[in-house]
Amino acid sequence: MMTPLPMKKLLLAALPLLVSLGAPAAEQPAPGDLIARGAYLAHAADCTACHTAPHGNPFGGGYPVGTPFGLIYGTNISSDKTHGIGSWSDDQFVAAVRDGVGKDGQQLYPAMPYDSFTKMSRDDVLAIKAYLMSEPPVAEASPVTDLPFPFNQRWGMVFWKFFNFTPGELKPDPSQTAEWNQGRYLVDALAHCGTCHTPRNLTMGMDTKKPFAGGDLGGFVAYNITPDKTAGIGSWTQNELVTYLQTGHVDGRASASGPMAEAIEHSLQYLPESDLAAIATYLQSVPAIADDKQSASRESFGKPSDGYVAVRGDSVAQAQDPGRVLFMGSCATCHGAKGRGAGSGFGAYPSLFNHTTTGAADAKNVVSVILGSVDRKMVKGEILMPSFAEDLNDAQVAQVANYVMTQFGNPAAATVDAKQVAKLRGDAQLKSPPAVLQGDMAR
């Protein structure tokens, strides 16, 4: 995990950012200020997410990114001169981040979100480089990215870029407020929110006709974050959005898991509240996009259930409804027999009804959470839900997921079967870091 700067330093480092996004700097900051600003920007860009392996050294690479074409491993971007970026020039680093071109001219796979990072200013990219160069080197090779033919032909990325990549720095819109422009820069460039929350076209580029309408990440669905009141976040207040981005939890709305939990853990919780408010302001202004699959707002589904009473002491009923029995044995201790959860605010065990995950039209996130756990290491403390992957087989996971969706969430999504669970379990296992790291920097 990235070593966080004290919040006071982050806030101080952010102040010049608030007034200079998209504009050339009048003069270069002092080295210490540049590094502090780079640390802030690296948090905002969530560099840790793809460039630090689970339990690995910061920025040492090795994080597996699942794609429809195979695993792509995040590279070592530490200051090490052999395996990292220690010998890279400024121009080489900027070309990699903003243009998707590696040190030796090779085309980078778009798992590196250069289609968003191209909108960053050169000064911001070099501030991140200054911060990375100030951190300890990691003398470890990243795993080799070895995709099957034809996806291993990197020159093919030239054609992908032709259809999906528009290079160029994002400039402020003078007709909008400073807060709106700040939010757009954070969402569209630094935080690259569209990378996950925008659906993909046939060539796996972002579908620019449906920005932020939701994306399929394989093991998880990144939900619609447009202002649509049924499919998106149109019914959320700005304060609720800020709280969610800052803590990962809002009572009666949502609690973060999967890639969103990682983004909050490594990135968003460290941003000043003014930045989070700017993000909310911008997202609330983009075009609302509906989704026919979502019949009502995700947080509107469900209510407390006394369904457990029907099987108490009745072996026949228990055999006929194994999902209910599994729920009582595996889930009710924390989430309550009636699904109410326990507590409120940051440390709450979330309610299973009026929750955006159980109210979704797809139960994929529920299954992936059961298999993969929730573990948000926050400044305020750790939020943990254990994995049940070793306790429940595929059929049992499907049974308990369908029970949860039927009793507390969107019943229309209670269609999970063992085959779907096996696929999600396999995807999760593929993301485990390899025992042996091979080769040099894999991009």
Q: At what angle do helices 364-372 and 418-430 cross, to 10 degrees?
A: 50
pLDDT-based confidence at residue 315 (cuts at 50, 70, 90): low
* 190: Cα within 13 Å, side-chain hemisphere: 31
Share of the chain above pLDDT 70, in %: 86
pLDDT-based confidence at residue 1 (cuts at 50, 70, 90): very low
Cα–chain-centroid distance for residue 73? 16
Q: Quick check: 440 pLDDT over 50?
A: no
pLDDT-based confidence at residue 308 (cuts at 50, 70, 90): low
Q: How many Cβ atoms from other residues are within 10 Å of residue 3's Cβ? A: 9
Share of the chain above pLDDT 90, in %: 72
Domains defined for the chain, CATH in brackets:
7-164 (no CATH), 178-283 (1.10.760), 303-430 (1.10.760.10)
Contact (CB, 8 A) for 297 and 348: no
- Per-residue pLDDT of 386-426, as tens digits, reads 999 999 999 999 999 999 999 999 999 999 999 999 999 98
What pLDDT is stored for residue 319 in this prediction?
A: 64
For the segment 240-261, the average pLDDT, to the nearest whole number, is: 96
- Per-residue pLDDT of 371-386, as tens digits, reads 999 999 999 999 999 9
Q: Over the Cα atoms of the chain, what is R_g?
A: 22
Q: Quick check: 88 pLDDT over 50?
A: yes
Give CA angle at 23 (20, 26), nearest 5°.
80
Q: Among positive and negative, which fits the CA dihedral 267, 433, 103, 201?
A: negative
The amino acid that residue 156 corresponds to is G
